Chain A
Amino acid sequence: MNNPPKRLGHAWQVLRRPSAKYSLLSLLVIGFFSGIFFWGGFHTALEATNTLEFCTACHEMRDTVFQEYKQTIHYSNRTGVRAICSDCHVPKDWTHKMIRKARASLEVWGKITGAIDTKEKFEAKRMTLATHEWERMKASDSRECRNCHSYDGMSGEFQKQTVFVKHQKADAEGQTCIDCHKGIAHKLPREYRDSNE
């Protein structure tokens, strides 16, 4: 009988046997380049999932959050600097990116298995999804917003006085962008309420 554990054991022995044909150096060189090759491929695949097209390929995104985002200043503005989905939703550094991708896969899984496969189900889930993003942004001091914006870079000459003063105060008191700027790129969830209302 050719059972799997035995085959595996055999493969393992072959892998462990020292090579007589090739020098250690050539093996290392081959290893080095194929490493780059695989890493590059992985990275390219990962980058592909960061494009606007990828993120809006599924219906829920295309018919809801994407349409809303297209009406906002982050999609089109005077200077043409555009923030796309991944700019706000995917961390730039490696560890945070990997964690976020794993989570996003869970959300895609939710779609495949039918948890969020229609606009209605999406709207019903929106408050939960939004709350996750708010918590994530709050925890990172709105890191993705700050990749482009900063309190420091705001000019009292160009910002209205009230807003400028509010931002200086927010900076001094350690408040973060998402504390005050919810719903900047999408429709707010039905269940959301402002604290001042």
Chain B
Amino acid sequence: MSAHRNRLFAALSISIAAAGLSAGAYAVDEEAARALARQNGCFKCHSVEKTLDGPAYKSVAAKYRGKADAEARLITHITTGEKAKFPDGHVEEHKIIKTKDMNEIKNLVSWILSL
């Protein structure tokens, strides 16, 4: 094999890997997001379509559409136990998600915002 073809091959594989990486950073893994929400009991108060104790995830997505700080806002919301207002008017600390893995948390938030 010539050195030239070797170099071409190396360049190709690097660009393919780079493309894979950037796609990985943005694509939402819906299955993983749902599994994390299930495991944390989020669906006890939220549904994708319906309003339960908490707002439907679709309406959360609508509320934040086009807002630059949406991701940061929701990460704060589900990791800090900030005050949440319930339909009957009372206020209590929102559930804190039980993982410290920021990639998993970001994936869940991206999924909600994508709905």
- Name A residues whose Cβ lies closer than 8 Å to a Cβ of B: 160-162, 180, 183, 187-188, 190, 192-194, 196-197
- Give Cα distance in the complex from A193 to B38, angstroms: 8
- Name B residues whose Cβ lies closer than 8 Å to a Cβ of A: 34-35, 38-39, 43-48, 50, 52-53, 86, 90, 92-93
- Give Cα distance in the complex from A188 to B90, angstroms: 32
- Give Cα distance in the complex from A56 to B50, angstroms: 41
Nearest neighbor of B45 in chain A, beta-carbon distance = A162
- Give Cα distance in the complex from A193 to B111, angstroms: 17
> When the two chains form their complex, are residues A183 and B39 in contact, meaning their CB atoms are under 8 A apart?
yes
> When the two chains form their complex, are residues A197 and B39 in contact, meaning their CB atoms are under 8 A apart?
no
8 Å CB contact of A196 from B35, B47, B90, B92: B47
> When the two chains form their complex, are residues B39 and A196 in contact, meaning their CB atoms are under 8 A apart?
no
Nearest neighbor of A165 in chain B, beta-carbon distance = B88
Query: Which chain A residues lie closer than 8 Å to B47 at the CB level?
Result: 196-197
Query: Which chain B residues lie closer than 8 Å to A162 at the CB level?
Result: 45, 53, 86, 90, 92
- Contacts A188-B38, A192-B38 given: A161-B90 contact, CB under 8 Å? yes
Among B38, B48, B50, B93, the one with the most A-chain Cβ atoms within 10 Å of its Cβ is B38
Nearest neighbor of A160 in chain B, beta-carbon distance = B92
> When the two chains form their complex, are residues B44 and A197 in contact, meaning their CB atoms are under 8 A apart?
no
> When the two chains form their complex, are residues A188 and B92 in contact, meaning their CB atoms are under 8 A apart?
no
Query: Which chain B residues lie closer than 8 Å to A183 at the CB level?
Result: 38-39
User: A161-B86, A194-B43 given. 18 additional CB < 8 A pairs?
Assistant: A161-B92, A162-B45, A162-B53, A162-B86, A162-B90, A162-B92, A183-B38, A188-B38, A190-B35, A192-B38, A193-B38, A194-B44, A196-B43, A196-B44, A196-B52, A197-B34, A197-B47, A197-B48
- Give Cα distance in the complex from A183 to B35, angstroms: 11
- Give Cα distance in the complex from A193 to B35, angstroms: 9
- Give Cα distance in the complex from A196 to B37, angstroms: 12
CB distance from B85 to the nearest CB of A (A): 11
User: 8 pairs across A/B with beta carbons < 8 Å?
Assistant: A161-B90, A183-B38, A183-B39, A187-B39, A190-B35, A194-B43, A196-B43, A196-B44
